[in-house]
Chains A and B, each alone.
Chain A
């Protein structure tokens, strides 16, 4: 079955330090991978995606993610965390039943990121 795992419910980081939010996936065929962020009482906002090409993907707000096929991972990273990055982060993979470019996204349970001053 296709799935996404976010092994950490919460990640705590000091402002200015690098941050990593982990994500692993299980999907048949080539994965289409996404990261979304949800601020309190807001909808989900798209951060970045991996479809094909360079394994290091850059996205909004200084975030980036590295696709690692051998480890089936797509960890979200940022070199220097800000207090304003504190939010709920979701990793997702496109359901491959429809053949790649179509289909719903399967989401992980989310990781709460807390950045302290």
Chain B
């Protein structure tokens, strides 16, 4: 596609429910990243996929968070048993090796 696509753009859920956020990276980009942006905060790194290598999960805040990247393309970020503190904008980005990151428009997650 022309850019990084994320869906849904907005997600409202109840505390304790599971949510899945999807990211379609730019075709051909080998690297994919998930970040979280809370109100008034900077970008918090969550997870990084590079080609077929094991992902860098060092930024995931708890074991309720997980992510997959199938076929080296589409990625899904799953949050289990959501909590109110999970409310944030979740940003996905992709890049070719050594290049700048291209970001999607994000998914605004609201946990009630």
Q: Which residues of A contact B (CB under 8 A)?
A: 34, 36, 42-46, 49, 51, 90, 95, 98, 100-110
Bound-state CA distance A45–B4 (Å) is 12
Q: Which residues of B contact A (CB under 8 A)?
A: 4, 31, 33, 35, 41-43, 45, 48, 50, 56, 59, 91, 93, 97-98, 100-106
Bound-state CA distance A101–B33 (Å) is 15
Whether B105 pairs with A102 at a CB distance below 8 angstroms is no
Given A43-B91, A44-B91, A104 and B48 touching (CB < 8 A)? yes
Given A43-B91, A43-B106, A102-B31, A90 and B43 touching (CB < 8 A)? yes
Nearest CB to that of B51 among chain A residues?
A102
Whether A42 pairs with B105 at a CB distance below 8 angstroms is yes
Q: Which residues of B contact A104 (CB under 8 A)?
A: 33, 45, 48, 56, 59
Bound-state CA distance A51–B99 (Å) is 10
The 8 Å CB contact of A105, one of B4, B41, B97, B101, is B101
Bound-state CA distance A36–B101 (Å) is 10
Whether A106 pairs with B106 at a CB distance below 8 angstroms is no
The 8 Å CB contact of A109, one of B41, B59, B93, B106, is B41
Bound-state CA distance A46–B50 (Å) is 20
Whether A43 pairs with B104 at a CB distance below 8 angstroms is yes
Q: Which residues of B contact A51 (CB under 8 A)?
A: 98
Nearest CB to that of A44 among chain B residues?
B103
Whether A101 pairs with B98 at a CB distance below 8 angstroms is yes
Nearest CB to that of B30 among chain A residues?
A102
A-B contact pairs, 29 of them (CB 8 A): A34-B101, A43-B91, A43-B103, A43-B104, A43-B106, A44-B101, A44-B103, A45-B103, A46-B100, A46-B101, A46-B102, A49-B100, A51-B98, A90-B42, A100-B98, A101-B97, A101-B98, A102-B50, A103-B48, A103-B56, A104-B33, A104-B56, A105-B33, A105-B45, A106-B45, A107-B35, A107-B43, A107-B45, A108-B42
